[in-house]
Structure 1
Amino acid sequence: MAFQPIVDVRDQTVFAYEALVRGLDGSGAGQILSQVNADNRYQFDQACRVKAVSLAARLGVPCHVSINFLPNAVYEPAACIRTTLEAAQQHQFPTSHLIFEITENERVVDKDHLKRIMQEYRRRGFKTAIDDFGAGYAGLNLLAEFQPDIIKLDMELVRQIDTNPVRRAIVQGILGVCQALSIEVIAEGVETDAEYHTLRAMGVHYFQGYLLAKPAFEQLPVVTWPAGCELSETGAGI
């Protein structure tokens, strides 16, 4: 696993670290995920959860850890979470610090099943998130089925938002919906000061991206704070 921070620029704190799967040689997620199929999906999903929890505990993560999961690998929510709970207990990592992300890029075969998963995770005290929001198969229809604690704006919406009025309009609309539903918003894939300051002025205060820190292989990277981030208090906030 590699870890990348998700920061709250209002007080310059790390809100969470996302656990990102890597090969033993440090190879990227794409190469690993290309080997996942129907026969090994469940085993892979469970192994990633356990590895993320154990590494987070070993590294002394003091905040949330965000773990991506494959909804099509979860056959029964309560049973499939058992291994994660056992790992958290074994490594003395608080389950209240776990966030589970579903990527909108994975086609969900059964939306009712996904809804049951998210409800079970919330009942257990976990936070839930939709990753890559605005990039995948379902868009707002997925949000209409269930309301997670967090959505993460897809990096394609973030990219060059400072010079693209269409992207700004779309993101402003998403922010309005999330504000009405009490959903937090994270801008991921932020790479430039201009992207950061534009999103900050729109009311975003959770950020993730190379501008702040690149993922670090089995360690927690140092955050580089954007100039004047603690002074950027314009925007309504979400």
Structure 2
Amino acid sequence: MAFQPVVHLPSRSIYAHEALVRGPAGESAYSILSQVSQDNRYAFDQACRVKAIELAARLGMRSRLSINFLPNAVYRAEACIKLTLATAEKYGFPVQNIIFELTEDERSRDLPHLESIFTEYRRRGFITAIDDFGAGYAGFEFLAAFQPDVIKLDMGLVRGVHEHRAKRAIVSGMMAICRELGIRVVGEGVETREELRTLADLGVEYFQGYLFAKPALEQMPGVDWSGADLAEGSAVA
């Protein structure tokens, strides 16, 4: 596992660390996920949860821990959660600090199934999140059925947002919806000060991306706050 921080810009603090799967020698997530099949999907999903919690506890993580899950690996949420709860108890990691993040790696369109998973996770005290919001199936239809605690804006919306009027309008509309629903919004994949400044002007407070820290293998990277100085003013035309 590698960890990458999600920061809260106004307080200059770390909100969470996302656990990102890697190979034993640091191979990419794609090289590992491409080996996941119908036969090993459930075991892989469970192993990732255990590894992420074990490492977070060993590293002394005090922030929240965001774990991606494969929705098609979850048949009955209450059964899948048992190992997660047992692992958190074993390593003394607070359940209320665990975020389960719906990943875009699988194209599940069974909305009732997804809603049942999220509902059970929330009932057990976990934080819920949707990754890549604005792309694929993880969109407004699901948001109407279930409101997670966190959504992450798709990187396609974030990249070059300062130069793209339509992207700014879309993000502005999504921020209004999320404020109404009480959902935190994370700008994911932020790489430049211009992107950061524009998203901040649109009301985004949480960020993740290379501007702050790259993923670090089996360690919690330090955060570079030097690019977060927004004193130069707005980038929104």
TM range (shorter): over 0.9
Give structure 2 stretches of 5+ with no counterpart: none
Matched, 1:95 2:95: yes
1-side partners of 2:67 and 2:45: how far apart?
10
Sort the Cα spacing of 1:203 and 1:233 in 2 relative to 1 into closer, same or farther, 3 A. Answer: farther
User: Which structure 2 residues correspond to residues 1-238 of structure 1 after superposition, within 5 A?
Assistant: 1-227=1-227, 229=229
Q: What amino acid does structure 2 have at the position aligned with 1:159?
A: R
> Could you say what secondary structure the match of 2:17 adopts?
strand
Conserved 8 A contact 2:70-2:105? no
Show CA shifts across 1:173-205 (max 9, x none). 111111111110000000001000111111111
Residues in 1 aligned to 2:208 and 2:190: alpha-carbon distance in whole angstroms: 6
Maintained 8 Å contact 1:6/1:206: yes
Structure 1 distance, partners of 2:114, 2:19, is 21
Paired AA for residue 139 in structure 1: G
Quote the Cα distance in structure 1 between the aligned partners of 2:148 and 2:156.
21
Q: Taking structure 1 as reference, are residues 124 and 148 closer, same or farther at Cα in structure 2, changes over 3 Å only?
A: same
Segment drifting more, 224-233 vs 63-72: 224-233
SS of 1:22 mapped into structure 2: coil
Aligned-partner SS, 1:81? helix
Letter in 2 for 1:176: A
Task: Give how far 1:106 is off.
Answer: 2.4
Distance 1:105 1:233 in 2: 37
Distance 1:60 1:194 in 2: 33
Shift of 1:144: 1.2
Name the aligned partner's letter for residue 21 of structure 1: V
105 and 233 in structure 1: CA distance in 2 versus 1, 3 angstrom threshold: farther
- Matched letter for residue 14 of structure 2: V
Q: More displaced, 12-21 or 104-113?
A: 104-113
| Alignment length (residue pairs) | 234
Contact in 1 for aligned 2:42/2:74 (Cα 8 Å): yes
Task: Give the 3 Å change call, closer, same or farther, for CA 230–62 of structure 1 in structure 2.
Answer: farther
Distance apart, 1:110 and its partner CA: 2.0
Helix, strand or coil at the partner of 2:187: strand
**Could you tell me the TM-score, scaled by structure 2's length?**
0.95
Residue deviations 1:138-172 (CA, integer Å, cap 9, x gap): 52112112110000001110001011101111111
More displaced 10-residue stretch of structure 1: 179-188 or 137-146: 137-146
Instruction: Give the Cα separation in 1 of the matches to 2:144 and 2:186.
Output: 19
In 2: Cα distance, 1:196 partner to 1:202 partner = 10
**RMSD across aligned positions (CA):** 1.6
- Aligned with 1:185: secondary structure? strand
Unmatched segments (≥5 aa) in structure 1 = none
Instruction: Supply the distance in 2 between the matched residues of 1:67 and 1:47 (Cα, whole angstroms).
Output: 11
